[in-house]
Amino acid sequence: MTVTQSRTAEIRRLAAEDRDAAARALAELLRDLFGLEAERIEINRDRYSLNSLNGFFRTGDEAFFFKFHQEEGEEAMSGEYYRADILAKAGLPVDNPVHMSALPGEQILIYRRRTDPRFSDVLRRLDLAPDEAAEARALAAERKLNEALLEVCRKTLHPVDAAEVAAEPIHRLFYERLIDPKSGALPGGRFADFYVGRSFRFPGVELDWEAFSRAAVVINGVRYRRTIGELFAAAAERLRPDRLADAGGVTAHGDAHNANVWYVEGGGAPSLAFFDPAFAGSHVPTLLAEIKATFHNIFAHPLWLYDPAEAATRYRADATFADGVLDIVTDWQPSRIRLGLLEVKAGTFWRPLLATLSERGLLSPDWREVIRLALFLCPTLVMNLRAGASSHNPVSSLIAFSVAVMVGSEPVAGEDVVTRFLDMVDPERG
């Protein structure tokens, strides 16, 4: 297959440097793909668009919203993205695009413009200004969505083989960010680009990769079993696509963080609807299906991942390093609404799903390990967490890596919020 330069990658690059040039390139793409004459193009400055671009345009009297997700090596793909019909046919609430291109390097979705807010924006307001009534409404909408997710997972759960699992695009969010996209070499991809051989600057200490990756980590007095390096190595082994068929496959969105979810009020009880199903599939490894949603909608908040500058003004994080131990002290913690979302996710989706897997003989003995390692890769490979490398500063970077270790590794002793979550969803516990 001849690989052409990704036009979406070029538009993303231009958007960071020259928004007028990006708008012109986007207008040309829309004309070529759909015959649309786009006017009044607005490219959003969106805190949640870590690997994507979105915005608005008009054609005559009609207003549209566009979004595309762009990955390294995307131009070599052959239409694996954007299978929105899979979700609609399964019965999930999804906003279907009016125009769609799945061409390699030109993969983009066009929706009619809506006035509904994204659920991410609703929840951010509740992070910063708690409101019990509004929180109750948001949690009710989350519960309704998770009931629908569970129903679809149960209905579509089926045995899969390694080839079916490996063909799913969801691996581009996990394993394929650990390896070189062309050769498959490990370490490679984002893992090598972001961290290997780099330096890590935190309040109170600066470490090279060797020291940082091998350091035992203590967070607020809790010591964790695995180092950063050990977590990456374990993820590279256990999250290989050919090893993820053991828990079966399901139909799923795969990347349902709340910036890909509309919050629809409409006068009655609020509801949620997906959009941008860039990684949707019908053989998604069951234990990966809701990992991105679990991490990015809960543990990535408040502020530290998407608003690192503001996080540094609100939270404290300090580090010391001695005798191979990185000791972190921070006052960051999940907000009330995020803990509420975690409780809903645990009780309405994860626990009954794991019970179903157990009943059908598909629950992997190391299911906790799979969940933890996938959660660990969510923050570490979605963007560069090192201070000064992207938008992160020393405080937010230290919080980021402490959260990554917390979700990825069991504590040596005691418990934390992730341990309690996993105990809560364990089908063998009463």
Q: Tell me: the pLDDT tens digits for 305-323?
A: 999 999 999 999 999 999 9
Residue 145 CA to its chain's centroid (Å) = 17
- Amino acid present at 353: L
Cβ-count burial of 294 within 10 angstroms (0-12 exposed, 13-18 middle, 19+ buried)? Answer: buried
Separation CA 254–CA 277 (nearest Å): 8
Model confidence at 96, in pLDDT bands (50, 70, 90)? Answer: confident
Residues 6+ apart with CB under 8 A from 365: none
Q: Tell me: the pLDDT tens digits for 192-217?
A: 999 999 999 999 999 999 999 999 99
Pairing between strand 216-219 and 325-330? parallel
Q: Convert 364-390 to b/e letters by CB count within 10 Å (16 or more is b).
A: beebbbbbbbbbbbbbbbbbbbbbebe
Model confidence at 1, in pLDDT bands (50, 70, 90)? Answer: very low
The pLDDT assigned to 78 comes to 43
Model confidence at 81, in pLDDT bands (50, 70, 90)? Answer: low
Q: For the residues 177-196, what does the mean pLDDT come to?
A: 95
Q: For the residues 358-362, what does the mean pLDDT come to?
A: 97
Q: For the residues 91-115, what does the mean pLDDT come to?
A: 87
Residue 144 CA to its chain's centroid (Å) = 21
Q: What's the DSSP call for residue 231?
A: H
Separation CA 202–CA 421 (nearest Å): 29
φ/ψ region of 358 (left if φ > 0, alpha if ψ in -120 to 50, else beta) reads: alpha
The pLDDT assigned to 70 comes to 63
Percent of the chain with pLDDT over 90: 82
Helical spans, DSSP H, in 330-416: 336-344, 351-359, 367-382, 394-408
Q: What token pair was written down for 189?
A: 């991809």
Task: Indicate if the pLDDT at residue 2 is higher than 80.
Answer: no
3-class DSSP state of 414: coil
Q: Tell me: the pLDDT tens digits for 377-429?
A: 999 999 999 999 999 999 999 999 999 999 999 999 989 999 999 999 999 98
Is-contact 261 119, C-beta < 8 A? Answer: yes
The domains found in the chain, sorted by start residue, are: 7-112 (3.30.200), 119-425 (no CATH)
**For residues 139, 144, 150 and 152, what is the CA-based torsion angle, rounded to 10 degrees?**
-140
Q: Tell me: the pLDDT tens digits for 16-47?
A: 889 999 999 999 999 999 999 999 999 988 78
Closest CA to 277 of 250, 249, 253: 253
**Sheet containing 216-219: which strands, arranged edge to edge?**
222-223, 216-219, 325-330, 317-322
Separation CA 32–CA 25 (nearest Å): 11
φ/ψ region of 224 (left if φ > 0, alpha if ψ in -120 to 50, else beta) reads: beta
Is-contact 218 224, C-beta < 8 A? Answer: yes
Separation CA 349–CA 12 (nearest Å): 35
Helical spans, DSSP H, in 129-272: 132-156, 162-166, 189-194, 209-214, 228-238
Closest CA to 399 of 299, 254, 282: 299
Quote the mean pLDDT of the chain.
93
In terms of average pLDDT, the best of 36-50, 256-270, 343-357 is 343-357
